A and B are shown apart, each in its own frame.
Chain A
Amino acid sequence: MDYNRVFVSKVRRVIVVFTLFSAFLGFRTTAFAQTDSVALSVVSAEEHVATEEKKEFDITSFIFHHISDSHSFTLFGHGEHGFTLNLPVILYTDKGLVNFSSAAFNHDDNGTVVVERNGVRVTKFHGKIYYANETPDAHGAYVAVDAEHHATNVRPLDFSITKNVFSMLLSMVVLLVVFIAVANGYKKREGKAPKGIQSFMEPIILFVRDDIAKPNLGHKYAAFMPYLLSVFFFIWLNNMLGLVPFFPGGANVTGNIALTVVLAACTFLITTFKANKYYWGHILNPPVPWWLKPLMVPVEIFGMFTKPIALAIRLFANITAGHILVMSLLCLIFIFNSYAVAPASIFFAVFIGLIEFLVAFIQAFIFTILSALFIGMAVEEHH
C-alpha cells in the first residue's frame, strides 16, 4: 500500500513513528518473554528434581503465575492459607459438558488431585486442565510430562469462567453502569451543562471523537464511534484494573493474547467489510510499474494481516511487559533475600507503576487511534 499519504500530515507522521517504535518495543519484549519462558521451564525442571529439599524462591514461575490466567481468584494469602474466590469450571469433554467449582481441585496445580464428574476424570497442572491418567507417576501427578516438563495429556475444551473472564465481565458491568448513567445524564439535562460523572467522562469522549475519530475517519466518523469508544474505554479500564494488585483488579486481562486477538480481529473485520473499492484497488492493483505488481500484490495482502496482528501483539506485549517489570522489581527483595533491598525495590516499583498508569492510557489510545487509522484508510474516498 502507498504509505506516503500516511506521512502527509505531521500528526500522522508522529503517530506512525510512534507506532513503529512501540511495535518494535512490543516485539522486543516478546523476545524477552520467550527467553523467560525457556528459563521458566529449565528452572521448573530443576525444581522438580530437587522437590524434596525446601526449594528456593522461584521468581520466574511466580511472575508467570501472576500474569497468566487462573481458575480461581485469590483475594489474599496463598493456597490453603489464603482466601480464594472459587470460579466455575466449564469443560466440553468427549462425554459432553461438565461443570463444577474450581474448589474441587483443592488448590492443587501439580496434577495430583483428580476430579471425577459424569465419568470424566480431569486434573489441573500448571493452570491448565488435562484428562487425568489412570495411575499417578512417581511424584503423585496424574499427568505425563515430556523432557521440558510440559504435560503431554489431552486437554478437554476449557470454557471455564476463569479469573480473566470474571474480571472482564466485571469490567463490562462497570462500563455499562457508568456509561448508562452518563447517557441518562444527557437525557435528563438535555442541552444543559454536564454534571457529576457525566462531566468527568465528557472530555474523554470528546477526546476520542475529536482527536482520534475525526482526524482519521473524516466526516464518516459517526458510524465508527460506538466501536472506537467501546474499545478505548474497555482497554483503558482493564489496563487500570490490571494495575490494581488486589480484588477486583489483579487479573491480567489486556495482557492476555486471547483478548487482544479478539479486539484486533474486530478491527480487522470492520476494516475488511467496510473497505471501499479504492482500498481493494490499492491492494489488488497497486499504483506501481507493471513489473513490480507480482511482488507488490502479495506484500499488500500480507500487509492486510500484519496490521491487526501488530495491533494485538503491541497491546499484549506492553501490558505483559509492564506487569513483569513491576513483579521483577518486587522480587528483587526475595532474590537478594534481604530487607535492605526493599526501599530501592519499592521505589522503582512505584516509579514503574506510575509509568504503567500512563502506559495504560497510552496503549488504549494507540489501539483506538490505530484502529481508526486502519478503518480510515479503508473507507477513505479518492477524488
Chain B
Amino acid sequence: MDLLVPEIGLLVWNTIAFLVLVFLLGKFAWKPIMKGISDREKSIDEALNKAELARQEMARLSSQNEELMKQAREERDQILKEAKALKDGIVNEAKNQAQTEGAKLIEKARIEIENQKKAALAELKGQVSALSLDIAERVLRTQLDDKAKQQELVNNLLKDVELN
C-alpha cells in the first residue's frame, strides 16, 4: 500500500518546513496581527463606552437644562404674578386714596358751600333786617303822625313781647 506509507524524505522535509513556517509566521505575522486586532477591539470598546458615557452625560445635561428652563419659567410666572399683584395693590390703593381724597374735597366743598350759604344767609338776614328796619322806620314815621295809631302799635308790640 504505497499511498499509506509515508516517504521518509517527505516526512523530514514536511516536519522541518512546517515547524519553520509556524515559527516564522508566529513571530512575524500572528503576533503583530493578533496584537493589532485585540488592540483595535479594545480601542473600539473603549470608544463605544466613552460614547455611551458622553450620551448619558448629554442626557443628564439636557434634563438639567430642562429643569433649569422649568425653574426659570416658574420664576418668571411667579415674578409676573407678584408684579400683577403689586400693580393691583397700587391701583387699588390709588383708587382708595383718590376716593378718600375726593370725599374729603367734597366734604370741604360742602362745608364751604354751607359756610357760604350761612354767610349769604347772614348777609341776607342783615339786609333783610336793614330793609325791614328801613321799611319799619318809614312806616313808623308815617304812623307816628297819628297818636291813636301810636298807642295801638305800642300795645301790639307789648303783646308780642308778652308772648315771647
Contact = CB atoms under 8 A, between A and B. Distances in A.
Interface of A: 30, 33-34, 37, 64, 67-69, 90, 157-162, 164-165, 168-169, 172, 175-176, 179-180, 182-183, 186-187, 190-192, 202, 205-206, 209, 222, 225-227, 229-230, 234, 256-259, 261-263, 266, 320
Interface in B140-154: none
3 nearest A-B pairs in the assembled complex, by CB-CB distance: A186-B36, A226-B26, A179-B29
Interface of B: 1-15, 17-18, 20-22, 24-26, 28-37, 39-40, 43
Nearest to A41: B2
Contacts of B1: 34, 37
B12 A159 contact: yes
Contacts of B13: 159, 161, 165, 168
B153 to A, nearest CB: 144
Nearest to A179: B29
Contact of A191 (B17, B25, B43): B43
A219 B51 CA distance: 28
A191 B40 CA distance: 5
A306 to B, nearest CB: 16
Chain A binding site: helix, strand, loop or mixed by DSSP? helix
A165 B17 contact: yes
A198 to B, nearest CB: 9
Contact of B18 (A34, A37, A206, A263): A263
A339 to B, nearest CB: 32
Contact of B3 (A175, A209, A225, A320): A320
Contacts of B22: 226-227, 230, 266
Given A165-B10, A202-B37, A257 B30 contact: no
Given A159-B13, A266-B18, 16 more contacts: A69-B10, A159-B12, A160-B9, A162-B10, A165-B9, A168-B13, A168-B14, A172-B17, A175-B25, A186-B32, A187-B36, A190-B36, A191-B39, A230-B30, A259-B18, A261-B11
A172 B24 CA distance: 10
Given A186-B35, A186-B37, A259-B14, A230 B4 contact: no
Given A230-B22, A230-B25, A205 B14 contact: no
Contacts of B20: 172
A68 B21 contact: no
A157 B124 CA distance: 171
A172 B6 contact: no
Contacts of B25: 175-176, 179, 226, 229-230
Nearest to A201: B33
A331 B149 CA distance: 191
Contacts of A192: 40
Interface centre among B9, B26, B34, B39 (most CB of A within 10 A): B9
7 contacts: A67-B3, A159-B9, A161-B13, A183-B32, A186-B36, A258-B7, A259-B18
Contacts of A258: 6-7, 10-11, 14
A175 B11 contact: no
Contacts of A266: 18, 22
Contacts of A209: 34, 37
A54 to B, nearest CB: 27
A293 to B, nearest CB: 34
Contacts of A179: 25, 28-30, 33
A230 B22 CA distance: 6
A268 to B, nearest CB: 13
A230 B39 CA distance: 21
A97 to B, nearest CB: 12
A256 B95 CA distance: 117
A94 to B, nearest CB: 15
Interface centre among A69, A168, A256, A258 (most CB of B within 10 A): A258
Contacts of A187: 32, 36
A257 B6 contact: yes
Given A172-B17, A205-B37, A222-B34, A183 B3 contact: no
Nearest to B22: A230
Nearest to B12: A159
A3 B1 CA distance: 33
Nearest to A259: B14
B37 A68 contact: no
Contacts of A206: 37
A360 B23 CA distance: 24
Nearest to A38: B1
Interface centre among A67, A229, A320 (most CB of B within 10 A): A229
A176 B24 CA distance: 8
Contacts of B21: 172, 175-176, 230, 234
A159 B39 CA distance: 44
Given A180-B28, A230-B22, A257-B5, A262 B14 contact: yes
Contact of A69 (B7, B17, B33): B7
A183 B29 contact: yes
Contacts of B35: 186
